[in-house]
Amino acid sequence: MIDMFLYDDTDKANIRFVSFIGESRYDLTLIQTDRHYGKTIVLNTQSNKFGIIGRDDLEEEGYIAYALGLSDKEAEDVIEFLSDIIG
């Protein structure tokens, strides 16, 4: 039984599906809305992991590898790609 909703909002989103090859093959979904303070929801569809990622997160050592279930080398490829996308 649900006692109360904390929120139940609808928002427009810009969704981008990307697949590219570097150290490995990467299949990512990027979701941008006004909801997360300018950060982008990045889903790794291969590992079923995601992170809410902003420029500060790209610079934090090990965060992208941890959040998206990647090796450190794979995370370098993804960080390089996301650096051009995330403001």
Domain presence at residue 2 = no
Question: Is 4 inside a domain boundary?
Answer: no
Does residue 38 belong to any structural domain of this protein? yes
- 8: in domain: no
Kindly state whether residue 68 falls inside one of the protein's structural domains: yes
The pLDDT value given to residue 2: 82
> How many domains does the chain contain in total?
1
The answer as to whether 7 is a domain residue is no
| Residue 53, in any domain of the structure | yes
Would you state the pLDDT for residue 1?
85
Domain residues for 51?
Answer: 14-85
Residue 16 neighbours by CB under 8 Å, 6+ apart: 29, 30, 32, 85
Span 31-85, pLDDT tens digits: 999 888 889 999 999 999 999 999 999 999 999 999 999 999 999 999 999 999 9
- Domain presence at residue 26: yes
